[in-house]
Every structure is written in structure tokens, then in C-alpha cells.
Amino acid sequence: MTSIIEKYLPNVANLGWTGDSGWWTSIIQTLYMTLWPAIFGGILGLIFGIILVVTKPKGILENKLWFSICDKLVSLFRAVPFIILLAVIAPVTKLIVGTQIGTTAAIVPLSLGVFPFYARQVQVALESVNNGKVEAAQALGATNTDIILDVYLREVRSELVRISTVTLISLVGLTAMAGAIGAGGLGNTAISYGYNRFNNDITIVATLLVLLIVIVIQLVGDFLANILNHQKR
């Protein structure tokens, strides 16, 4: 197998498996830049999505001021192209993690880049819950916290898994973009060691590895969503 790779994909073989620019290192960096922003951006997006639903007009916690602030913040961050966001918040990134480059530094812009997309998806999912169920819970004396946890989130749990899957896939794409400007990962490998040096075999293999990660995320997400959907029935 090794001899075949060395024969037909010489540049891929020369890059090696370990080391600062090795394939395994790039894969780990990509997964690292996907996992932590998914956690931070996901939590932030979930919070904003819930706030947008419960504080909207006729929501269970109607509040025009909070709704307006959160709605505009989400719209603002969603409107900024990610490549520009990377540059704009560079001082904030350095303040938080102490540097503007590298995989750890990429976590800040990646989290802020993914949260508005996820927040809107959560908002749409929660707004699909039948108002009759919310009113029934209120009639039974459920608190607002109970309604959020046991009605809204419980009713759309399989949908939340689906939108989380879509968000993770989008995040993998953003890590590739961050990698293209020096954050590391497969995006950096494809651009710096492949495209810029005319090593097409490296570019192709890096792209295939990104696609493999996306496929795994999609399969796992679909599996979990189907399980939760059957349990709900």
C-alpha cells in the first residue's frame, strides 16, 4: 500500500503522516477546530434561538427590547462574511487566547461565525412547535422553564439533531477556510502544500479527507435523528 502511494501520489507520501505538516496532524487540527467551536457556538446559538422564540411578540416571555437586540445581533453576525470576520475580530481573538494565528486562535471566529446560523435554525425549529401544546402546558401550571425544556426542546429534539448535523458540516467548511489563512488543518494542507505548490495530488487527497469527515458527520447525525424520532412516536 505504501509503495502504491509513493508511486502514484509522491507528494502525498512526502508530506508524511506525522510532524507539523503531516496528514494525521492536519486531520486532528480539523477535528479540533470543529469540536470546540461546535460546543461554544452551539451553546450560544441555542441560547439565542430560545430567546428569540420566547421573547417574540405573543411569546411566553414577550419582551420587545430583548427580542430586538438578539435578532439584530444574530442578523449582524450572519451578514458578515467569515473571511472578513476573521480579520475584524483578530484583536478580540488575541485578547482571549493570546494569539491571532493557529488552531486555538481559530476557535473564537469559528464560534462567532457558526452561532448565528445555528441560532436561526433553532428559532425556526422551535417556532414549528404547536402553540396548542404550549397553551396546554400553561393551563396545567407548567413554569416557563418547564415549557422550554419539556415542550419546546423535547418536541423538536430530532430536528435539533438534524440542524446540528447541518451546522457541523458547515463548520467543517469554515475550518477549511480558516486553514487557508494559516490556522492549520486540512484546509491549510490543501492550499499551502497542494494548490500553492502545484501538488495536485495533495489538494485532491485533502479534499477527499474533508469529504470523508462530512460523510461521517452526516451518517451519525441521520442515525441519531432517526432514533430520537422513533422514540418520540
Fold type of domain 12-232: MetI-like fold (1.10.3720)
Domain boundaries in the chain?
12-232
Neighbouring residues of 44: CB distance < 8 A, sequence distance ≥ 6: 111, 115, 119
- Does the pTM surpass 0.85? The reply is yes
Most confident option among 41-50, 91-100, 139-148:
41-50
The predicted-structure confidence for 121-174, as pLDDT tens digits, reads as follows: 999 999 999 888 998 998 888 899 999 999 999 989 999 999 999 999 999 988
* Rounded CA Rg of the chain: 21
